[in-house]
Amino acid sequence: MMEVIHMLWQGLVLPLMKLLFYVSLGLAIANFIEALNWTHRIARVSRPLIRLGHLSSDTGASFSMAFFSGVAANTMLAEAFDQGRIDKKELVCANLFNSLPTYFLHLPTMFFITVPLIKGAALIYVSITFVAAVLRTLIIIVVGRFLLEKKKYETVEFAERKRLGFQDALVKAWKRFRKRLKKIVFFTVPIYTVIFILNKSGGFGWLEGFMAEHLSILSWLHPQSLGIIVLHLAAEFTAGLAVAGALLDAGTMSYREIVLALLVGNILSSPVRAVRHQFPYYAGIFSPRIALELIVYNQSFRVGSLVLVSLVYYLFF
């Protein structure tokens, strides 16, 4: 009995509490920024890019915030969408547009994990994923320019909004925070619990195992690459890295073969990891239906860009 309680505490309750804390913190920051009418000020950092892509200042503010907090950035988009300041098309574009700052947010962790294990191959791998992130941003700017209407960026649009003092903004932000927090808890807790049950019951393990068993299409890779990819799918990124490092040290695989194996593992594992890690908190910030749509668009776009850049590397380098 104690083992079950300990497992539930460590695997469900504690991670869920941490998730709710970080989502709530991001929600509080986003609401306070909106209440103080600082959105356009934060958006100035990304103004050249959003002008090119016909994106709004709300999207620009979310883009700037995404360098520090992905949760806060998505919360700002959800608030803007709920209040009608951006439409569905811009919501999708804005979420995809944030892939570059989100990449930078996780870059230090990825870099300092990969370098000790795979040495010089880490620079190649990180460079390729960086190029893919930049490519996604450039594509969204082009798509937005054709898909979205041109915006007016004069400060007049913001002057019409009532300016609030610090205390009034705090009260307004608190009211919005309490209202949205109920929705976050209502959706996030049961969805996270279902994901936990699927994980513990072997649902995700079966899916990852199924994918790992059907890797015959990857026969063009070095035979030892399959071990890296399987661990990337069935375990965590660091497990695949550890095997890659060992094979590299033994001289079994070259930098190029290691990088290709890691890229393939990244591409194949992305959809499952997105559902497992992103969907619970996305469904709390957005509606579950929109959350699922955004994740599908996001992961399809991410995988497509990685496939394209990886293909260039495979053919020409």
CA distance 7 to 119: 36
Can you tell me the mean pLDDT for 54-75?
Answer: 87
pLDDT at 86 over 80: yes
CA distance 91 to 270: 22
Contacts of 25 (CB under 8 A, 6+ apart): 69, 71, 72
Name the DSSP class of 150: P
Kindly state the DSSP code that residue 78 receives in the 8-state scheme: H
Of 47-51, 89-93, 260-264, the one with minimum mean pLDDT is: 47-51
Least confident of 37-46, 104-113, 114-123: 37-46
pLDDT category of residue 194 using cuts at 50, 70 and 90: confident
Does the pLDDT value for residue 79 go beyond 50?
A: yes
Query: What integer pLDDT is reported at residue 48 of this predicted model?
Result: 86
Task: Between 46 and 211, name the one with better pLDDT.
Answer: 46
180-215 burial: b if 16+ Cβ within 10 Å, else e:
bbebbeebbbebbeebbebeeeeebeeebeebbeeb
pLDDT digits (tens, 9 = 90+) for 265-299: 888 888 777 877 788 888 888 888 999 999 999 99
Quick one: which of 110, 165, 161 has its CA closest to 132? 110
| Distance, CA of 268 to chain centre | 16
User: For all residues of the chain together, what is the average pLDDT?
Assistant: 80
Residue 92: Cβ within 10 Å count? 21
> Lowest mean pLDDT: which of 8-17, 127-136, 276-285, 304-313?
8-17
Residue 209's pLDDT is 62
- Among 7-21, 69-83, 267-281, top mean pLDDT goes to 69-83
Long-range contacts of 4-10, Cβ-Cβ distance < 8 Å, separation of 24 or more: none
Residue 306 parent element (H or E)? helix 288-316
- pLDDT, tens only, 200-255: 776 656 655 665 566 656 666 767 677 777 776 665 677 777 778 888 887 888 99
Which pLDDT score, from 0 to 100, does residue 55 have? 92
State the pLDDT confidence band at 39, using cuts at 50, 70 and 90.
low
User: In the chain, what percentage of residues exceed pLDDT 70?
Assistant: 75
Q: What is the pTM of this model?
A: 0.78
The DSSP call for residue 37 is T
69 contacts 29 by C-beta, under 8 angstroms: yes
Which residues fall within 8 angstroms of residue 76, CB to CB, at 6 or more apart? 30, 33, 34, 39, 58, 61, 62, 65
Residue 9 has pLDDT above 90, yes or no: no
Diameter over CA atoms, the chain: 66
What pLDDT score does 156 carry?
Answer: 39
126 exposed, middle or buried (CB, 10 Å; 0-12, 13-18, 19+)?
Answer: middle
Backbone CA torsion sign across 135, 136, 137, 139: positive
User: What are the sequence ranges of the domains in the chain?
Assistant: 16-316
